[in-house]
Structure 1
């Protein structure tokens, strides 16, 4: 369903154990960036009313999640501050082709893969912390559905711009590239490291 390639998560779960605070701060930034991505798509493709309508919904949900994560940070007395971004988003966005109509297709599919990986990470995090932090576990388990829905929305929108088989083929190509990027990891404890 999520169109992700399997990877090993041991290094990431070790980062969760070593610096959960940084993962939580980065999660807030991820939600804000997801809203920004949806807004950028509205700005770039304003004439597509269906896309704009769906992006508006995603923006609202992502900003709501951003606020929810900030509330968790506040409750835990974790200072929200700027972080050096990990390489994941930049590396994945470099896979986007430059010319239309391939560009819109890739932008939507890259967004779908980021949502899918977030969905997977939220599920892993919920299970990983369930014994020592049940409240956080419940929070992350609750985000799974909306992230999966965002992934599906982006793929469905991509199918407006290209034949379904072409979309699936390109999604598969990008999924392999995404798996290589996420498998390379990062020394920075981030949601997508």
Structure 2
């Protein structure tokens, strides 16, 4: 795992911080740095990586794939979902080497769908690889995988998504941008407060995932019939409220802890 300089961290964070409407509250950081919360933090982070892959997979199945390819895509995720939700299978056998956009028939795809295909397949591969890496860290720390409930964060964003197309797709893409940006901001916030090895891992994730939010925004702007600035601002305000308001459940994307 390569070392990343503080100047590179600052450079990667600059567009992310400019996009987000608020910083992570100090109260969340104080809660996250407690040793007794590390297992919950890693477990929820693990599940978030899978959910990010699932969200990208939904977009491909809904807007790009035919029925046959859709079944192949579901097969990509099944071992990860079996392990996470049904506690089946051996996590050490998981790999992303078989994930390829070659399963798609790109003949006749319009430029937008081709762009979505390229961006989402790469995102899925990266998120599932990071899922595996988090499991490795948990194994090294002696943490058995046990499910945790989800935070209110993602649903709090998605309930504002419009119900008609293409506006529904535009909103989902903007939500994806905020989720990815917040994840990167939290990687950077966590890094100084955990072990050196875990801190390096979080910074490496920042480097790997820093472009994801921009990929989502690019797709949203491409498919929207109008300028997306108003919707971006709307979801930015919603996201800020979710992050700053009190939250009685501590999770990777939770708000300010009630106990604080």
TM-score, normalization by structure 2: 0.70
Give the equivalent residue in structure 2 for 1:9: 25
Query: 2:202 aligned with 1:140, yes or no?
Result: yes
Q: Structure 1 residue aligned with 2:38, among 3, 8, 20?
A: 20
Q: CA RMSD in A?
A: 1.4
> What is the DSSP-based 3-state SS (H/G/I as helix, E as strand, rest coil) of the residue aligned with 1:81?
coil
Distance 1:151-1:8 versus aligned 2 partners, 3 A rule: closer
Distance 1:87-1:33 versus aligned 2 partners, 3 A rule: same
Query: Following TM superposition, by how much is the alpha carbon of 1:92 offset from its aligned partner in structure 2, in angstroms?
Result: 1.1
Give the equivalent residue in structure 2 for 1:191: 252
**Which deviates more, 138-147 or 45-54?**
45-54
**Which deviates more, 8-17 or 83-92?**
8-17
Gaps of 5+ in 2: 1-14, 65-108, 255-260
> What is the DSSP-based 3-state SS (H/G/I as helix, E as strand, rest coil) of the residue aligned with 1:92?
helix
> What is the DSSP-based 3-state SS (H/G/I as helix, E as strand, rest coil) of the residue aligned with 2:178?
helix
Greater fraction of residues in helix? 1
Q: Which structure has the greater CA radius of gyration?
A: 2
Query: Following TM superposition, by how much is the alpha carbon of 1:185 offset from its aligned partner in structure 2, in angstroms?
Result: 4.1
> What is the DSSP-based 3-state SS (H/G/I as helix, E as strand, rest coil) of the residue aligned with 1:116?
helix
Query: Following TM superposition, by how much is the alpha carbon of 1:98 offset from its aligned partner in structure 2, in angstroms?
Result: 0.9
Q: Matched residues in 2 for 1:83 and 1:155: separation?
A: 30
> What is the DSSP-based 3-state SS (H/G/I as helix, E as strand, rest coil) of the residue aligned with 1:146?
helix
Give the equivalent residue in structure 2 for 1:83: 148
Q: Matched residues in 2 for 1:80 and 1:167: separation?
A: 40
Q: Once superposed, which parts of structure 1, at least 4 consecutive aligned residues long, lie more than 6 Å away?
A: none
Query: 2:89 aligned with 1:71, yes or no?
Result: no
**Which deviates more, 89-98 or 9-18?**
9-18
TM-score, normalization by structure 1: 0.93
1:124-161 deviations in Å (ceiling 9; x for gaps): 001233xxx11111110111122221111111111111
Aligned positions of 1:108-187 closer than 5 A: 108-129=173-194, 133-162=195-224, 166-187=227-248
Q: Matched residues in 2 for 1:98 and 1:53: separation?
A: 26
